[in-house]
A and B are shown apart, each in its own frame.
Chain A
């Protein structure tokens, strides 16, 4: 196989693995919407980074994306602290605000005669074929950081998700826990938008874990199933997207992921019906 295909496949697998791992903990901590807010919010970061640097390098755009994601999470935390608004309202408002700003900036550079949008539109729905070897090195670095952080902290994050007050009373820092989870979400979203795009990225975080949750109630098995499902869908989706000319990678991956989730849901339902009939 061509080297570029290998790069795409390895890159996609890394995105699938990391999104499933981080998604499991955002789901358990009931922060799935935050992933959606972050993915929409990083669009202005990407476009601004491009406007400032004048070139489309993975490092530059990801730095911009990371900063924008970080600002969005800070805005959400600050509003939750200072206002009486419900957190879903705050998340929805932040998401739309940043995304609108991103779209406005994108249209602005699209209209510029000099260099066009340099393919930044790909970030909306994802285009994994654009991945090169330097991106892959960056992905490997980010994945290593995420996997090590989860290995070291999964028990704390898991316990926080189950019983926050107990953990605070024991002296664990809620801020530190939120900071680690938010940073991991921002990193994985920043990495994943190249394949899935900002619009659909949150699905890659949420659907694998919710499918796995239907199958089991053990954390280790949830992690395993969601990683398998996330990786499988990402690989198959991007492969189909590379073969078929006009389908963006993001929708391809998410359609496969959703189909798997529906099949799992129906199978589980059918089995529980059989069991109750058996009784």
Chain B
């Protein structure tokens, strides 16, 4: 299977505290990979570390055999809900337009071709009628779809989502998962940080189980065994495999 992300010895410190300890793992291309672990296990730091948002102490990361610098334009990052200011004066289409701006240009502007792509992607996530709304006026599920639209507008190969299902209802969760599955079927690689084991069991193809160290990784049915979960969470969880 093609490797989308290859991580070797990733070690991250926050000030003097060790957050991630020598993580070596691979993410398969064209699959949905869940990153799971208890609160404070370093899941978000893991994402931020591989994306160059948080400085790393040591470790190598490659994306489809390329360096991060070479591949970064093909990576879309969907942030955690709590890191967003929902009162910010930005409209739905302006958020999606962010996917089209490229660095290293003096004059950063939106072309008419960009506007066309933004329109198309909003149609794909069924949010066309909300394009001029301020982002805070949408429901939690719709807001997550806006960020997915931004990833689509970026024409990303790899979509990385940080806790996308926190604070949204079941119907919106299903709607987002449907889009994510469609993207996977279209050949995109999706990485999702998540804590709800029941959803993981149903939708994710692969799982990386973390708690400061790598506990287990691979196909979800191999990883989500009681002994691994106990190792990560320190107690046994009942898995709801409906």
Please give me the 10 A-B residue pairs with the lowest Cβ-Cβ distance, nearest first. A217-B89, A169-B77, A217-B134, A169-B51, A171-B103, A172-B103, A155-B108, A159-B98, A152-B107, A165-B53
Q: Which chain A residues (149-204) contact chain B, with CB distance < 8 Å? A: 152-153, 155-156, 158-159, 161-163, 165-173
Check A166/B98 contact, CB under 8 A, given A84-B15, A213-B89, A222-B89: yes
Say yes or no: is B73 at the interface (Cβ < 8 Å to chain A). yes
A contact patch SS: helix
Residues in A whose Cβ lies below 8 Å from that of B79: 163, 165-166
Residues of A within 8 A of B90 (CB): 158, 162, 217, 219
A162 in contact with B103 (CB, 8 Å)? no
In the bound complex, do residue B89 and residue A155 qualify as a contact, i.e. CB atoms below 8 Å apart? no
Q: How far is the CB of A198 from chain B (nearest CB, A)?
A: 29
Within 8 A of B (CB), among A78-124: 84
Contact B98 A163 (CB under 8 A): yes
Q: Contact between B88 and A165 (Cβ–Cβ < 8 Å)? A: no
Nearest-neighbour CB distance to chain A for B7, whole angstroms, equals 16
A260 within 8 A of B: no
List 5 A-B residue pairs with CB atoms under 8 Å apart, sorted by A's residue number: A84-B15, A156-B108, A216-B89, A218-B91, A219-B94
List B contacts of A173 (CB < 8 A): 103
Establish whether residues A155 and B103, one from each chain, have CB atoms under 8 Å apart when the complex forms: no
Q: A28 at interface (Cβ–Cβ under 8 A)? A: yes
Which residues in B have their C-beta under 8 angstroms from that of A152?
Answer: 106-108
Closest B-chain residue to A171, C-beta based?
B103
Which residues of A are at the interface with B, using a C-beta cutoff of 8 A? 28, 84, 152-153, 155-156, 158-159, 161-163, 165-173, 213, 216-219, 222
By a CB distance below 8 angstroms, the chain A residues around B1 are none
Q: Specify which chain A residues have a CB less than 8 angstroms from the CB of B94 in the assembled complex.
A: 158, 219
Write the residues of chain B forming the contact surface with A, with a CB cutoff of 8 angstroms.
15, 48, 51-53, 69, 72-73, 75, 77, 79, 83-85, 88-91, 94-95, 97-98, 101-104, 106-110, 134, 150
B89 near A165 with CB under 8 A, answer: no
A157 CA to B83 CA, complexed, in Å = 17
Please name all residues of chain B whose beta carbon is closer than 8 Å to the beta carbon of A170 when the two chains form the complex: 72-73, 101-103
Beyond A152-B106, A171-B73, 8 additional pairs, beta carbon < 8 A: A158-B90, A162-B85, A165-B83, A166-B98, A168-B53, A171-B72, A172-B103, A222-B89
Q: How near does chain A come to B92, taking the closest CB pair, in angstroms?
A: 12
| Residues of B with C-beta under 8 A to A172 | 103
Query: Which of chain A's residues have a CB closer than 8 A to the CB of B88?
Result: 28, 161-162
Chain A residues whose C-beta falls within 8 Å of the C-beta of B51 in the assembled complex: 165, 168-169
Q: Which residue of A lies closest to B136 (CB)?
A: A217
Q: Which of A153, A166, A216 contacts B77 (CB 8 A)?
A: A166
Given the complex, which residues of B lie within 8 Å of A222, measured CB to CB?
Answer: 89
